[in-house]
Amino acid sequence: MTAYLITGAKIVGGDVADLLIENGKIVAVGTNLDAPKDAETIDAQGLIALPGLVDLHTHLREPGREDAETVLTGTRAAALGGFTAVFAMANTDPVADTAGVVEQVWRLGRDAGYADVYPIGAVTVGRKGTQLAELGAMADSAARVRVFSDDGDCVWDAALMRRALEYVKAFDGVIAQHAQEPRLTQGAQMNEGALSGVLGLTGWPSVAEEAIIARDILLNAHVGSKLHICHLSTKGSVEIVRAAKKRGFEVTAEVTPHHLLLTEDLAASYNPVYKVNPPLRTKDDVEAVREGLADGTIDIVATDHAPHPVEDKDCEWSAAAFGMLGLETALSVVQQAMIDTKLMTWADVADRMSYRPAAIGQVGGEHGRPLEAGAPANLVLVDLAAERTVVPGESASLSRNTPFDGMTLPGKVVATFLRGTATVLDGKLAR
């Protein structure tokens, strides 16, 4: 295994220093380090070193939709975005609702080797919302599933949600809820407001998200389990979570990069690349989720990377699939939305995109650790001064549905290391 000496990097939350990586671990951080002769030196002057990013919400599409993404292509995109761990959502085909499927996904991730893949298990059989899946079997499998979600659909039945929250206490699991009241969002196409009325697109009202979040926070308080809110998107949701946390209720929440940057106005183009669930919201909502992320109300950024083949986006709006790519652009979007606006520091970014998602996903031993001697060598080097224009065709993903097409975003991942192995070097896949 190659040893690496990274010189002159600004260590996030610390000083400029050298990092010595050997045998998958960070063995030393400091100056004048005693590197082995065959160590490869990486000049990191002007770059910032962050802990490897952790994405709690990725759609890798395998098994079932290998035309959209595979574990291999999805984790390549993850590595290029600076991620060393991704949590793979359960809405595959077959659904990841058994030990067999989650183990398959987990092994595919290990074989690919670009990022650790942690499967998320479905809460209910087939994600149909009627019967609990074998959560325990998935927890006990080789994949050691701890996060469960029917993402794509809401666990809308309050009694079932209650049971799921209770049941996962036995193995310290967490239920990640896709908060969407289904009856209020039948046929919904975009954020409900002045614009949806003008465009004649069925509205997806904020209250459909907020009502479920409020309900589930109360349910969780009643049973004392772990609740995580997926892709929180509205001002009202931020206020509910903030108030709940203030009162001591247990809840964690995520926001996606696209909800930090984009607004519903884009729907006026009727270009389905902007169709996503939950939908892009208003400027007020964007400001609120930024504030919520900055003050810790929202715990983490998670990409909701949702690849779709061209034909599912190259069509009329109502026929198009929901979802956007996110892995390769997430860090840049956060830089633009949170750093350039001075709402957060890079130490905050490390917290929201590495430490906390690793903690929620319970992979804190391997991922989301500060860059210190003895920690696994999961890290990313970023050139903050660089800029790049997003070109969908350049994505490592099999899909092209990035809403940032043509936008110039700040920052560029230069290198990513997964347990001491370079997955990305000079901004390109290392192998």
Partner 1 sequence: MRHLLSAGDLSRDEANLILDTAEEMRSLADRPIKKLPALRGRTVVNLFFEDSTRTRISFEAAAKRLSADVINFSAKGSSVSKGESLKDTALTLQAMGADGVVCRHGSSGAPHLLATSGWMTGSVVNAGDGTHEHPTQALLDAFTMRRHLGSLEGRRITIVGDVLHSRVARSNVLLLSTLGADVTVVAPPTLLPVDMTSWPCATSYDLDGALAKSDAVMMLRVQRERMNDAYFPSAREYTRRYGLDVHRMAQLPDDAIVLHPGPMNRGMEISAEVADSARSVIVEQVTNGVAVRMAVLYLLLSGSNDTTEEQTA
Residue 293 region by backbone torsions, left for phi larger than 0, else alpha for psi between -120 and 50, else beta? alpha
Q: Is 322 annotated among the ligand-binding residues?
A: yes
For the chain, how big is the Rg over CA atoms in Å? 21
Q: Is 91 annotated among the ligand-binding residues?
A: yes
The least CB distance from residue 269 to partner 1, in Å, is 7
Binding residues vs partner 1 (CB under 8 A): 189, 192-203, 205, 269-271, 311, 314-319
How far, rounded to the nearest angstrom, does the alpha carbon of residue 101 sit from its chain's CA centroid? 21
Count of C-beta atoms within a 10 Å radius of residue 221: 16
User: Which two three-digit tokens encode residue 92?
Assistant: 């595959």
Residues 75, 415: Cα–Cα separation, whole Å = 15
Comparing C-alpha atoms, which of 376, 422, 369, 379 is closest to residue 1?
Answer: 422
Distant-in-sequence, close-in-space partners of 248: CB < 8 Å, separation ≥ 6: none
If you search the block for the tokens 């991704």, which residue do you land on? Answer: 86
The least CB distance from residue 206 to partner 1, in Å, is 11
Comparing C-alpha atoms, which of 409, 265, 393, 280 is closest to residue 337?
Answer: 409
Comparing C-alpha atoms, which of 180, 188, 197, 325 is closest to residue 268?
Answer: 197
Residues 28, 12: Cα–Cα separation, whole Å = 15
Nearer to partner 1, 131 or 318 (CB): 318
The least CB distance from residue 255 to partner 1, in Å, is 24
Nearer to partner 1, 23 or 269 (CB): 269
DSSP letter for each residue of 9-29 = EEETTS-EEEEEEETTEEEEE
Residues 17, 29: Cα–Cα separation, whole Å = 7
What are the residues facing 49 on neighbouring strands? Answer: 11, 381
Nearer to partner 1, 136 or 309 (CB): 309
Q: Is 259 annotated among the ligand-binding residues?
A: no
Q: Which of 304, 348, 351, 383 is catalytic?
A: 304
Q: What are phi and psi of 184, to 5 degrees?
A: -80, -5
Q: 380-400 burial, b if ≥16 CB within 10 A, otherwise e?
A: bbbbbebebebebeebbbbbb
Beta strand 116-119 with 428-429 is unpaired
Per the annotation, the verdict on 304 as an active-site residue is yes
Q: What are phi and psi of 397, to 5 degrees?
A: -65, 155
Neighbour order of strands in the sheet with 174-177: 147-148, 174-177, 227-229, 252-255, 300-301
Residues 129, 215: Cα–Cα separation, whole Å = 16
**Spatial contact of 231 and 254, defined as CB atoms under 8 Å apart:** yes
Nearer to partner 1, 67 or 134 (CB): 67
Q: Where in the sequence numbering do the catalytic residues fall?
A: 304
In the annotated binding site for substrate, the residues are 59-61, 91, 277, 308, 322-323
In the annotated binding site, the residues are 57, 59-61, 91, 151, 178, 231, 277, 304, 308, 322-323
In the annotated binding site for Zn(2+), the residues are 57, 59, 151, 178, 231, 304
